[in-house]
Amino acid sequence: MSGVPTGSSGDLENKDILSYVALGDSFTEGMSDPYPDSDSVPNGRYRGWADRVAEHLADHVSEVRYANLAVRGRLIAQIRDEQVPRAVEMSPDLITLCAGGNDIIRPGSDPDKVVEIFESMIAELRSTGARVVIFTGFDTNWQPVMRHLRGKIATYNMHMRSVADRYGCDVVDVWSMRILDDQRAWNWDRLHLSSEGHRRLALRVCEVLDLPVDDDWNRPWPPPEPRGWRSARQEDLHWAREFLVPWIGRRLTGRSSGDGVSPKRPELQRCERYRPGD
């Protein structure tokens, strides 16, 4: 497409003031990674990999202004309509976008159709001159209930990579992060990253952005604690009762976990390094 930049927009560390906008759904909102000092997670105190990346940038740039427009449960068309225009208005230096996952896991969804919306978003965001980072979907092979989605996710991933190539976007290849196959990378709902999962993903994003980090996102997990068959089945039953059944209920009734939820950082605000519990 004419008029669309074809390369990333340079070294982020060389800027005196850096603006960063994160777009997406629960993955980018930060579920389920509460701040250690949070008494009220529902009031917007989720942290997540995007907050962690912004905080890391704040250690290397004189001033970082950060907005996070992501809202849990959002479908890709909602992200296009609600978040992309606002991001374009902000005209940031850096944009991260993860979208389409909630569409792909729905029965009957078509990755070919979803990526058409995705490409329209990328074209609009890259036309601002911002550096845009996108994310592949996770490999669900480790999760028996969602293993059947691997083919659709892989198809969508390849489409997104093609779009990234055409528009000069950076890609965080989450699919290949085998370290996330461990259940300790995930919250009990098996759909959102744990705090440690978010921390490792933030390190990987910083690596893609060529930012120095002091830890390895791919560091092997310590040996797991032994777990018996009965304990594992009890966990499966708890998960089905507390997460799977309500999730199916929302799908059948057209409701979303994000109904009534607003972005946690709707404006570009100065980001400070968060120290406790890093």
Residue 233's CB: how many other CB atoms inside 10 A? Answer: 10
Q: Classify domain 12-219+226-270 at the CATH superfamily level.
A: SGNH hydrolase (3.40.50.1110)
Question: Cβ distance 157 to 137 under 8 Å?
Answer: yes
Spans of the chain below 50 pLDDT: 1-3, 5-9, 40-43, 276-278
As separate numbers, helices (DSSP H) first and strands (DSSP E) second, the chain gives 10, 6
- Which pLDDT belongs to residue 41? 43
Q: What is the pLDDT of residues 193-202, one digit of tens each?
A: 999 999 999 9
pLDDT at residue number 141: 87
Please tell me the predicted confidence (pLDDT) of residue 224. 82
What residue spans define the domains of the chain?
Answer: 12-219+226-270
